[in-house]
Chain A
Amino acid sequence: MKRKKSKCVSYAKWGYIFLIPFFLVYIIFQLIPLLSTFYNSFFENYRVGLMQVGPTFVGFKNYKEILFNSELPMYLKNTFIIWMMGFIPQMFFSLLLASWFTDLRLRLKCSGFFKTVIYMPNLIMASAFSMLFYTIFSDVGPINNLLNSMGLPTYRFLAEVAGARGLIALMNFLMWFGNTTIVLMAGIMGIDTGIMEAARIDGASSFQIFRKITLPIIKPIMAYTLVTSLIGGIQMFDVPQILTNGNGNPDRTSMTAIMYLNKHLYSKNYGMAGALSVILFIITAVLSIFVFKYVTKDMVDTGAKTSKKAKK
């Protein structure tokens, strides 16, 4: 009996061994920082000049301060508005481009070239991109010169609510629509062309095919884009931070939740920053679960499987 067992080689352990590097990196760089964030959020711990205050255990005081005494809801609202302003056109153009690129009847020439071009903005660093926009849309920048030469008055983009939010949304849109297009294209190309052909033979128009066949099948992929974009949206930071010089001008209407978090960096306020991070963590988790459940609730089994893969 014993001999027989030793003959049977177990390969399962190799699976675990090969997974060790991932778990090590995950624990050191993700799990421990995550747990220490939770831990730190219960302490009063900051520095004023060279004077260290705390750490003193204060229970949920930091949470109370943020939830009832700060303007976090306003910053979350700003984040959400700016995210939506960028996400809706992003989804629209990505779907349009993805369906064009994959349409067999259109036979677009140099689609590889266009795919590269629309992906380009994503390759530029967000900070460089923001600096560029800051210069282009400054009060004496090229855009205002153009407006003036057409006889229009100077529009102070960064001093107006719509201007500042609009610019941030525009940049997010430009940076991410290429990426979304590629992801959606992958989804559309996974559809069996036979279904499309059959529909076409039955007399369906391109729009009908798109609405009745393509859209329902790529729903899991869309859910994936929505969830990743939502998480990315909640973490929106670099673009508005640099464009508004960290102030969220005007009147803090373009200050996002993470910019608010960053404000606590100056005083090395680990307690408040920790509490804020935990709150954002919970919000992100709840939103993701909710969106994902909602979008995939009437999905057929195969779809659900695809979505699991996609999620990874």
Chain B
Amino acid sequence: MKRKLTSLFLATAMVMTTLAGCGNSGGKPAAKVDTSEAAQGKVLNIYCWNQEFQERFEYFKKSGKLPSDVKVNFVVTPNENNAYQNALDAALLKQKDAPADEKVDIFLVEADYALKYVDSDYTLDVVNDIGLTKDDLADQYQYTKDIVTDSKGVQKGTTWQATPGLFAYRRSIAKDVLGTDNPDKVQEALSSWDKFNSVAEKAAAKGYKMLSGYDDAYRVFSNNVSAPWVDSNNKIVIDDNIMKWVDQTKLFTEKGYNNKSSLWDNVWAADQGPKGKVFGFFYSTWGINFTLLGNSLATPVKEGGKEEVGNGIYGDYAVCQGPQSYYWGGTWICAAAGTDNPNLIKEIMKTLTCDKSTEVQITKDTQDYTNTISGMNELASSDFKSAFLGGQNHIKLFAQAAPKINMKNISAYDQGLNEEFQKAMKDYFDGNVTKDKALDNFYKAAIEKYPNLSH
């Protein structure tokens, strides 16, 4: 009897696991869109990872185009540890069987993993499915469109912001090292990587660090690669430009031009503050007005400090283009296949990402740099200025940098591979392993994350 029971349990267990195995292989949702008025749903589900888009969504509400009977649901999952993507993946895989009001309608993505969704059947073509016209999209920066264009050349997302990057430097340190804090003169001294390195040497002689950590310059190099991370045979290819970053960072580390920090760690944040001795930081639009500003204060706003000259090094930073153009960050809006609100999504995309007056208003209200070429150029030639940057009009530099960004070489694996590459190289910079061993470790970690790749 006992034995029979055992075998019964075993058999049940096996059957159950087999069934569980079948459940995973769900079908793909149909990519058809019904734009007839009767078919429009009354619930709009938006998947995102923070409050930012909710604040931007207010601008859409103000435009009065949101039907009063539509309920908007923000499903917020924090970004940490891939949690957002995991939640989104789970929802998208169930998209086909979910009731109409529970389907994902809109979801937001970041550039590093945009292709994962864009290059799938889970996103809708913003032109042919959603109905935006080429004219609507004409005033957007090209690179913001490239990032969400799939392998067949179809654009499947759109954004209200552009995030060109600049080099933010300390005026006081620049005066000491270069004898000037004039952004044009500093830019001239930093216009190529060779010049950048020689300034680093001068700065080191005076007791300053050129950069804070290992990864500070990474994006500037990785945005200017000549080919995607992964070639058509699923083979990982390390671009020469990324190897240039390795060599430069190793040089900086050995000569003491950097402070051995990592992005976002406490050393890195402290280096941006009053006690920091770092020449400058590569930062994009949001980073300068939010992160850098916050870190530069001696008394944080939370503790009653004011954002004004005299509090820490407020006013001591200025920006210049730096050696190469790049971007950092940004959020794209994608329409999920299977949505029952295509007409509403069209209005949202059109208002937030194609309407110049709305976007310029966002920039004026929040300092966010928006995705309208003509609007931003107008601001660039106005007397717009930033007290934090000592009265400099940084929009002007952003407006010059943004059109130069070229993001044709992104891949769906960028996020994972960039992360693992930086991690693996840290051992090399720390002097624990040889360069070959570090590259080996990178390949190992990469294939653990993406078992379909080879090297």
Contacts and interface: CB of A to CB of B under 8 A. Distances in A.
Interface string A16-50: 00000000000100011001100110010111111
Contact of A39 (B9, B17, B25, B122): B17
Contact of A269 (B117, B265, B432, B451): B451
B291 to A, nearest CB: 19
Nearest to B420: A247
A159 B428 CA distance: 11
Nearest to B28: A50
Contacts of A267: 448-451
Summarize A's interface: helix, strand, loop or mixed: mixed
B68 to A, nearest CB: 35
A264 interface: yes
B254 interface: no
Interface string A80-112: 000000000000000000000000000000000
Contact of B430 (A49, A55, A159, A269): A159
Contact of A251 (B21, B122, B416, B441): B441
Contacts of A250: 426-427, 430, 432-433
Contacts of B260: 139, 156
A53 interface: yes
B338 to A, nearest CB: 14
Interface in B418-455: 423, 426-427, 430, 432-433, 437, 441, 444-445, 448-452
Contacts of B445: 263
Interface string B118-133: 0110100000000000
B9 A31 contact: yes
Interface in A254-278: 263-264, 266-267, 269, 272
Contact of B448 (A35, A45, A47, A263): A263
Nearest to B430: A159
Nearest to A252: B441
Nearest to A40: B17
A181 interface: no
Interface string B187-209: 00000000000000000000000
Interface string A43-87: 101111111110100000000000000010000000000000000
B24 interface: yes
B418 to A, nearest CB: 14
Interface string B233-275: 0000000000000000000000000001100011100100000
A161 to B, nearest CB: 7
Interface in B262-316: 265-267, 270
Most A-side CB within 10 Å, residue of B25, B116, B451: B451
Given A140-B266, A159-B432, A52 B24 contact: yes
Interface in A157-179: 159-161
A280 to B, nearest CB: 16
Which of the four size classes fits the interface of chain A? 35 or more
B16 interface: yes
Contacts of A138: 265-267
A141 B276 CA distance: 16
Contacts of A247: 423
Contacts of A52: 24-25
B30 interface: no
A50 B93 contact: yes
Contact of A264 (B113, B270, B448, B452): B448
B72 interface: no
A251 B433 contact: yes
Summarize B's interface: helix, strand, loop or mixed: helix
A249 B444 contact: no
Interface in A199-258: 247, 249-252
Contacts of B24: 52, 55
B423 A48 contact: no
A50 B14 contact: no
Given A266-B416, A266-B449, A267-B449, A32 B433 contact: no
A50 B450 contact: no
B14 A35 contact: yes
Nearest to B122: A50
Nearest to B445: A263
Contact of B116 (A40, A50, A156, A161): A50
B82 A266 contact: yes
A19 to B, nearest CB: 13
A139 B21 contact: no
Nearest to A140: B267
A251 B16 contact: no
Contacts of A251: 427, 432-433, 437, 441
Contacts of A36: 13, 16-17, 20
A140 B270 contact: yes
Contacts of B270: 140
B108 interface: no
A51 B423 CA distance: 26
A266 B267 contact: no
Contacts of B452: 46, 48, 53
B430 A39 contact: no
Nearest to B92: A50
8 nearest CB pairs, A to B: A49-B116, A36-B17, A250-B432, A263-B448, A159-B430, A35-B13, A251-B427, A251-B433
13 contacts: A35-B10, A36-B16, A39-B14, A46-B451, A49-B116, A50-B89, A139-B267, A140-B266, A159-B430, A250-B430, A251-B437, A266-B449, A267-B451
Given A52-B24, A266-B449, 14 more contacts: A27-B9, A36-B20, A39-B14, A46-B451, A48-B452, A49-B412, A50-B92, A50-B120, A139-B267, A250-B427, A250-B432, A263-B448, A266-B416, A267-B450
